[in-house]
Amino acid sequence: MGGSASVAIGRYLLGVIALAVICAALALAAVAIRRRILADWSGAPARLAEAVIGLALLIGVLELLGTVGLFALAPVVIGCVLVCWASLRSASLGPGGPVRTLPKPGPATVLAILGAATVLAEWGALTIQSYNVGIRGFDSLWYHLPWAASYAQTGNVVSLRFTDVEYLTPFYPATAEMLHGLGIVLLGRDTISPGLNLVWLGLSLFAAYCIGRPRGVGPATVLGAAVALGTSMMDYSQAGAAANDVVAIFFLLAAVALYLNGALAVAAVAAGLAVGVKLTVLGPVLALSAGVVAIAPRGRRRATAVAWLGPLVLAGGFWYLRNLVAVGNPLPWTSLGGLLPTPAAPLQQNTGFSIAHYLTSAHLWSRFGEPALASGLGRWWWAVLAAAVLGPLLCLLPGRSGRKGDYLPLSSHAPVRMLGVVALVSLAAYVVTPETAAGPAGDPLGFAFNLRYLGPALTLALAVLPLAPPLSRPGA
């Protein structure tokens, strides 16, 4: 009895040490790379870039090792250390950008801190509950954690995992599940999993701050994101669970923030990582990609497209390449107009309806739609949705160009206008997304449960609202 307890404690300590080594190695590598490609950066944008770079390196190592069946403790640690060594050899660790004195916090900053702290506390309480009783979310037990456990058990991440009769589910992108699998590999159990989404929440709020920082509205963009992330549809589905919506939201917000701060390639990496997490961000990422190319100078659009799409595909194409190799189609849910093979789905036909299918049905909206919105967004759901639409529309108004900010090489109003369009397109994409009104015809029982699919579009829309010309201070 005592011997087995000693072994368990020893194994746990080994995992903690391995986790510390991995974090330290990737942090050093990320700082080295950031100082090489963004040498004059400092402060919050630099830290966000380093977070994205570090996560991209980790995910790349896991994908490579998992492809060859080496998703295990020793190979992962060795792989991360080698990445650190290579990064330090090829990049300078000289002085970074100038250190700036932080301004005294004003009322807006205090309000943003209180708002963020409230959401973190709300999620924290649910996280503690999961540590007390275990993760019990439907999707977490359906496939998120079974996949993670299978990755840890087999050392392989590319084989398709079938966990129920819905045989198209195994083709979902699985970066978040792979990270949960890493936690199991390190500690021998899923100790990290209940608390992981709390980390993603903090990163999402931080990315939201970086969206508004160049224009002097960082606290306001934090509050916008906090409103979306503090809704019931998000906290009860994400906090203390292995759900992946908040992971995709972080990478989407990071892509927008890094783009606004002038780091095109790193922003593209973040966008790619987002589509490697969840299909529901395909619409926002496609819209963002089109916008980035569209507002580039006419003579540089082709170069911008290459500079954006290259890192995006490299960072986010792994799971879609897996699908292409497995069944000849990167998106097996569609045949792309009959060009690619896709299996018929007799067990899933007539249940994957979108909200667009019911837009003209007043009865179904009163029976399912309004109760779901009130439950998921709160009693003021109509105000939240109105702000989500009004904010991007205000971004389309003509804006005054301010002086060039510390991290705002894109000093014109074009990026803000583009983000307004991206947010509106993202909201529209949610309406036509399959499964948003899942259930038998005329009985969309999945409307409320899948309302979280609105999370990326809603968070983006509320985060860009303060960038609108009537509200922001360019170059402040």
* SS (HEC) of the chain: CHHHHHHHHHHHHHHHHHHHHHHHHHHHHHHHHHHHHCCCCCHHHHHHHHHHHHHHHHHHHHHHHHHCCCCCHHHHHHHHHHHHHHHHHHCCCCCCCCCCCCCCCCHHHHHHHHHHHHHHHHHHHHHHHHHHHCCCCHHHHHHHHHHHHHHHHHCCCCCCCCCCCCCCHHHCCCHHHHHHHHHHHHHCCCCCHHHHHHHHHHHHHHHHHHHHHHHCCHHHHHHHHHHHHCCHHHHHHHCCCCCCHHHHHHHHHHHHHHHHCCCHHHHHHHHHHHHCCCHHHHHHHHHHHHHHHHCCCHHHHHHHHHHHHHHHHHHHCHHHHHHHHHHCCCCCCCCCCCCCCCCCCCCCCCCCCCHHHHCCCHHHHHHHHHHHHHHHHCCCHHHHHHHHHHHHHHHCCCCCCCCCCCCCCCCCCHHHHHHHHHHHHHHHHHHHCCCCCCCCCCCCCCCCHHHHHHHHHHHHHHHHHHHCCCCCCCCC
Using the structure block, give the residue that is written with the tokens 């974090």. 23
Contact (CB, 8 A) for 427 and 461: yes
Closest CA to 69 of 131, 146, 150, 165: 150
Per-residue tokens: 457 = 């579009």
User: CA angle 355-357-361, nearest 5°?
Assistant: 90
Ramachandran sector of residue 233 (left: φ over 0; alpha: ψ -120 to 50; beta: rest): alpha
Report the pLDDT value the prediction gives residue 7, as an integer from 0 to 100.
Answer: 56
188 CB-near residues (< 8 Å, 6+ apart): 11, 12, 15
Gyration radius of the chain over CA positions: 22
Report the pLDDT value the prediction gives residue 103, as an integer from 0 to 100.
Answer: 60
Per-residue tokens: 378 = 């709160």
Residues listed for the chain? 476
Report the pLDDT value the prediction gives residue 166, as an integer from 0 to 100.
Answer: 76
210 CB-near residues (< 8 Å, 6+ apart): 44, 45, 48, 218, 254, 257, 258, 260, 261
The pTM for the full model equals: 0.93
Per-residue tokens: 91 = 């990049």
Using the structure block, give the residue that is written with the tokens 């292409």. 324
As a whole number of angstroms, the distance between CA 424 and CA 393 comes to 8
**CA atoms 241, 228, 104, 411: torsion sign:** positive
pLDDT < 70 regions, the chain: 1-7, 91-105, 344-349, 399-411, 472-476
Using the structure block, give the residue that is written with the tokens 């570090």. 54
Domain ranges of the chain: 2-93+108-330+347-467
Using the structure block, give the residue that is written with the tokens 């990737």. 26
Report the pLDDT value the prediction gives residue 349, as an integer from 0 to 100.
Answer: 61
Report the pLDDT value the prediction gives residue 101, as an integer from 0 to 100.
Answer: 55
User: CA angle 39-44-45, nearest 5°?
Assistant: 50
As a whole number of angstroms, the distance between CA 233 and CA 210 comes to 24
Largest CA distance in the chain: 72
Contact (CB, 8 A) for 186 and 71: no
